[in-house]
Amino acid sequence: MVGRRQLREKIIKTAYAYRQNPIRTDVLEKNMFTEIDKIFNLYVYELNFLVGLHQLAEEQLEIARKKYFKNEEDENPNLKFLNNRVLQQIINNEERIEFTEKHKELVWETHDELLVKTFQRIRAGKRYQDYMSSSEDSFEDDQKFIGKLFLRYVAENEDLHDRFESRELAWSDDLHIANSLVQKTIGYMREDRPVHTLISIIKDDDDRSFAGKLLHQTLSDWDHTEKKLVERLQNWDIERVSLLDKVILHTAMTEMDNFRLTPSSIIINEYIEISKVYSSEKANVFINGILDKYSKDTARI
């Protein structure tokens, strides 16, 4: 389970697209939820890349076993990577298996050039060699290794990112969200409590209602919110505020107005963090100042 940061990001991107090219709001909302669903596909696709690496290691071990002339490594292979407990939990995750069965396009074939190239880089790397030669044998060590392996060879793999973008253009903008979901999945694992479900961005009807309502209110209240924003722009012309920063401020102010149960400090922090990802370098300071003033002016707790 995760918070609503990812939903807020998608709402902002959807509202930003609308302000540039308005379409019917029902179509807009449908498109937004479709894009959110696609993030889950990318998340599973990345998990399946780890599964593909494991399958490739198994295949290479089987090839070595069938050699007529075997060396010491062929006779007594190091199975530490294959037996990695975290990899085993990912492989055996029931929701991943079931979802992949319905979406065969998310499977990585072991002869895939990118998968093979990445596996070769992993095996040649010092981190892999240190892990394989270490006498340490614990779930925590397995977890740490897979977490770092994912970060280095998946999250930071530019060739892999190009593949994602060629498959689904929107994935290029949502990759950091999928990466975060995989990292959380790995981090949540416990040896004595195997998890059979994955992380959902929309976890229930409340989340779906939140996303739909916040999008609609942000757009329908735009002119009204703009006036409130102008009132708080001291020595700053509204025309100098970028569209993206305006969308972030409008969405945050709309959430403070319409979702009173969420503390303003949480809302402000969420949109500051979002601005750090999507906006200019110092935009978070500007956005923080405006939202803090708005919260105090409206006596928003």
pTM, full prediction: 0.89
**CATH code at 221-297:** 1.10.940.10
Q: Read off the pLDDT of residues 47-82 as tens digits, 9 standing for 90 and up.
A: 999 999 999 999 988 876 766 666 767 567 789 999
pLDDT tens by residue, 226-239: 999 999 997 778 98
Range 23-38 average pLDDT: 95
pLDDT band at 286 (very low <50, low <70, confident <90, very high): very high
Average pLDDT over residues 81-105: 97
Mean of per-residue pLDDT scores for the chain = 93
Q: In this predicted structure, what is the pLDDT of residue 24?
A: 96
1 has pLDDT over 60: no
Residue 53 confidence (pLDDT): 98
Q: Who contacts 125 (Cβ-Cβ below 8 Å, separation ≥6)?
A: 152
Structure tokens at 217: 């209110």
* Residues forming CATH 1.10.940.10 domain(s) in the chain: 221-297
Predicted local confidence at residue 77, as pLDDT: 76
Encode the chain in three state secondary structure: CCCCHHHHHHHHHHHHHHHHCCCCHHHHHHHHHHHHHHHHHHHHHHHHHHHHHHHHHHHHHHHHHCCCCCCHHHHCCCCCCCCCHHHHHHHCCHHHHHHHHHCHHHCCCCCCHHHHHHHHHHHHCHHHHHHHHCCCCCHHHHHHHHHHHHHHHHHCCHHHHHHHHHHCCCHHHHHHHHHHHHHHHHHHCECCECCCCCCCCCCCHHHHHHHHHHHHHHHHCHHHHHHHHHHCCCCCCHHHCCHHHHHHHHHHHHHHHHCCCCCHHHHHHHHHHHHHHHCCCCHHHHHHHHHHHHHHHCCCC
